[in-house]
Chains A and B, each alone.
Chain A
């Protein structure tokens, strides 16, 4: 594949389960492509150099900084954003736990943190507090002091664990 610097390339990807397509320049970051071209503005853009974690989305099942990925690199991939959590009518259990444990205040960092937690809990369903804090080290939150976030993640992990045991 070759894209000239001033060309616009048709990028097709699977966004939250549906196929979406739009044009992007070679230099367009995935976060801007999602927000400006595909209109999903839940993903926030913070530092734009991979430090703050606000723009974290899930690409092919792995949490990824969408400011450090080009839109053209997402061609053909599965992208999940915060819009994939919950439904129009209600929040999912992770989002509810964030509300219940005061895990957000201004909310700027929250979309990215939710996506990291989402992948993290899929991989490690029963994490220790240390593991949760280690995962959160990839995010900056200047409101909460992280304690509420840690509690929310641990509470969801426990609740999901209980559900699984009940089902068995």
Chain B
């Protein structure tokens, strides 16, 4: 289908974008790459009065390593992040998960912040942000900013903490910590489709931040202790997610994936070298 008519704004600075948001209010939708939103508009699931296109705001196009985190501006595409030379060193979980985000044809335009703003419960980037304990930076009038932890930003299906007069200016992913191992795995109908279940893990020396996407209405992160019975912990986690049946998978299959894919992910059935590091006693 074709989208309903809308006023179109293409601001050149973030200040200008925020002014439009303040003026138009809740009837405005922000678009950057449009790889989620344009589909929604084409199907007329959303019919905003105004579209604020932030893709031309050059000051929002950056990838910067700062003190302890990697900052990614709101106009930066997923392809640009994937091509960032130090991604595997700085945020290995992103290097693992980004190839799962859509297809290369959609990563060419889709933005990192846009995926987080869209807050699809099965999307990979929100899951990584929540698992790593990253932050979303929002800006509103007079340069006032808010920083919200990734885990708190997602409020449900396609619902976030962002207020109508706020613009997400960047997201921050914590840099790789020494002696931590990062893993990502997912099951989808075809590579690049939305995940039936996606798992992300930040495996520390004592604790594991274990994130699950695609099951609950938002990414869910639990802290597991490496001294725990992990099979039992994964089972408890799987049952706590309120998995639903849908056209793609049953609730039971989703729970099974959390348990079995989780076990393999944590056991590091990827490389022996990593497995030895997760379980030094073996």
Indicate if B158 sits at the interface (CB-CB under 8 A): no
Tell me which residues across on chain A come within 8 A of B7, comparing CB atoms: 2-5, 26
Tell me which residues across on chain A come within 8 A of B109, comparing CB atoms: 59, 62, 64-65, 68-69
| Contact (Cβ within 8 A) B2 A120 | no
CA distance A2 to B39 in the complex (A): 22
Report the nearest A residue to B45, measured CB to CB.
Answer: A49
| Contact (Cβ within 8 A) B4 A27 | yes
CA distance A137 to B3 in the complex (A): 26
| Contact (Cβ within 8 A) A64 B5 | no
| Contact (Cβ within 8 A) B55 A73 | yes
Residue among B5, B8, B42, B55 having the largest count of chain A Cβ atoms under 10 Å: B8
Interface residues as binary, A42-84 with B (CB distance below 8 Å gives 1, 0 otherwise): 0000001110010010010011110111101100000000000
Residue count of chain A within 8 Å CB distance of chain B: 33
- How far in angstroms is the closest Cβ of chain A from B106? 6
CA distance A50 to B109 in the complex (A): 12
Interface residues as binary, B117-149 with A (CB distance below 8 Å gives 1, 0 otherwise): 000000000000000000000000000000000
| Contact (Cβ within 8 A) A68 B35 | yes
Tell me which residues across on chain A come within 8 A of B87, comparing CB atoms: none
- Known contacts: A2-B8, A68-B38, A69-B38. The answer to whether A27 contacts B3 by CB under 8 A is yes
Tell me which residues across on chain B come within 8 A of A38, comparing CB atoms: none
| Contact (Cβ within 8 A) A67 B104 | no
CA distance A25 to B8 in the complex (A): 9
- How far in angstroms is the closest Cβ of chain A from B246? 17
- How far in angstroms is the closest Cβ of chain A from B89? 22
- How far in angstroms is the closest Cβ of chain A from B24? 11
- Known contacts: A73-B53, A116-B105. The answer to whether A65 contacts B35 by CB under 8 A is yes
Instruction: Indicate which residue in B5, B42, B79 contacts A5 across the interface (CB closer than 8 Å).
Output: B5
A binding-site residues for B, Cβ under 8 Å: 1-6, 25-27, 29, 32, 48-50, 53, 56, 59, 62-65, 67-70, 72-73, 116, 120, 134-135, 137-138
